[in-house]
Amino acid sequence: MMQARSWLGAALLFLALPFAAQAQSETGAGVPEALRGAWFAGECTDPEAMLLVTARAAARVEAEAPSRLFRFRQLRSAAGWTIGTGGGAEAPRLMLRPGGEAGAAGLETAEPEAKLRDDRLPGETELASWRRCPAPPVALAALHGEGAAFLAALEHLEAGCGSGTPGACAAAIVAQADVSGDGVLTVAELARLLRGAAWLAAVEGGATQDAVAISLGAGSLAGILSARLLMESLDYDGDGRISAGELTQDRVGFATAPGTAAGRPLRLDGVAEGAGMLRGLMEGLANWR
């Protein structure tokens, strides 16, 4: 039950130190689109690992080994590689390029050690091969689908919340979380958002695939409870739905964030449990500097 108590508290913790721009053939467009999406290692019927790549992030989940989350603060290209560098003291790097065992349609990656100099990449670093699978195993899709969606949605949130446009942050949250497309959020849609956050927290925390499953199992119930709390706390007109207007209620200063390039990893400090989560997410995104 540790997970049940800790997952929400630990959710949304891929925070980062202030971003220091280093101009060196940086690619502002994110990871090339051809390299994004879900990749698998081993046979498609029973993959050993999965790699989810978005514009500015990658999540590797394995059956036996700890998972790993990269949130790229800097992306550059060199010698055919796209090289993403994460934040924090460790500044982990992930290198990606087309190729590997699956040929031109495949993906090859390297995770160089921290001490390896940028001009010596990839050096002796072991390369990993990934392939596309026409239909990922159902169990994997069930386990990682919402998390993958959340990871991608996060970049849209960051783009909306960093724009400095009044209401853009709340609108981005509603737009990303609104599955039914009616422009307002229900308990189920909030719970899905929280489950996605729980997945990301588990992957970021280095969980194995089994541990991700356990933490999601515990988090599902907590997610529904938290979503109900959120609803009661933010649904001012009591219609059982949360609108962008209700999200921004009493938060006139939230849109004062300076502009930033779309999709940069921003600070998500201040994200609290339960009812404070969405507010905290919004404020953390908006006030990251």
Task: Give the interface with Ca ion as residue ranges (CB under 5 A).
Answer: 178, 180, 182
The minimum distance between CB 174 and Ca ion, in angstroms, equals 8
Closer Cβ to Ca ion, 49 or 171, answer by number? 171
Place of tokens 């599955």: 179
Of 252, 286, 254, 256, nearest to 269 (Cα)? 286
Closer Cβ to Ca ion, 174 or 202, answer by number? 174
By beta carbon distance, the residue nearest Ca ion is: 180
Closer Cβ to Ca ion, 67 or 243, answer by number? 243
The minimum distance between CB 184 and Ca ion, in angstroms, equals 5
Closer Cβ to Ca ion, 48 or 182, answer by number? 182
The minimum distance between CB 178 and Ca ion, in angstroms, equals 4
The minimum distance between CB 189 and Ca ion, in angstroms, equals 5
Of 132, 165, 144, nearest to 244 (Cα)? 165
Rg (CA), the chain: 19
Closer Cβ to Ca ion, 108 or 178, answer by number? 178
Residue 73 to residue 36: CA distance in whole angstroms: 17
The minimum distance between CB 198 and Ca ion, in angstroms, equals 20
Of 77, 164, 156, nearest to 118 (Cα)? 77
Inter-residue contact 268 to 15 (CB < 8 Å): yes
Nearest 5°: the CA angle 249, 250, 253 is 110
Of 116, 12, 103, 111, nearest to 58 (Cα)? 111
